[in-house]
Amino acid sequence: MIERAGGVPVILPCLMNSIPDFLAACDAFVFSGGDDPNVAHWGQTMHPRATPMHPDRQAFEIALLGALDGVNSKPVLGVCLGMQLMGLHAGGVLDQHLPDHLATAHLHWDRRAHEVTGELGSGTVHSHHRQALSDPGRLRVIASAPDGLIEAVRSNDRPFYLGVQWHPERTTDERLGIDLFRQLVAAAR
């Protein structure tokens, strides 16, 4: 998607000592989807149905988010897990198992299509998650699903710091799909 949006994608290895070099070399950052954050880092107990992400990846991405706080002009896009990490990093809270609290949790699983509405526009997106932010912390909610689930967040203090719960790479609605990557690449320029 980065390439289709006019950028050059670079996959970063989880090398803590290289974070300063990555910050210098990269014009923008995407935090992608994956398994579930280990919320013990934020003082919560892990849900028994959670599938924790690899600890090296989590430590690296948390450290990278922290380093990006010091260079807040670098554009950041978080997708699914990426948005969740951004929210947790901003003091938010994660609902670790939506089926425990949300009757419509099944609508957000198995790459199902559902509607979102907000500042990015309204349309159909594709999701694949059983966790979501219940509190965005210092981030501002800018989109939600009809069932109230937080679908997108943004920082008011940074030029481009956007997280979306859906998968824009699987979303055919250009405004909620490829255009998010185009915005990221434009912000990086």
The side-by-side arrangement of strands in the sheet containing 112-118 is 29-31, 76-79, 161-164, 150-154, 140-144, 112-118, 123-127
C-alpha–C-alpha distance, residues 144 and 151, integer Å: 5
Return the number of other C-beta atoms located less than 10 Å from residue 163's C-beta.
Answer: 28
- Domain residue spans in the chain? 16-188
Instruction: Give the per-residue pLDDT at 161.
Output: 98
Res 129: pLDDT: 74
pLDDT at 99: 73
- CATH fold label, 16-188: Rossmann fold (3.40.50)
Give the pairing type, strands 123-127 and 93-95: unpaired
Amino acid identity of residue 125, one-letter, is V
Res 81: pLDDT: 96
Distance (Å, whole) CA 136 – CA 132 = 10
Phi, psi of 24 (to 5 degrees): -75, -35
Number of helices and strands (H, E) in the chain?
4, 9
* Structure tokens that stand for 160 in this block: 């481009």
The phi and psi torsions of 161 (rounded to 5 degrees) equal -145, 95
**Distance between CA atoms of residues 104 and 26, nearest Å:** 39
Residues with pLDDT less than 50, the chain: none
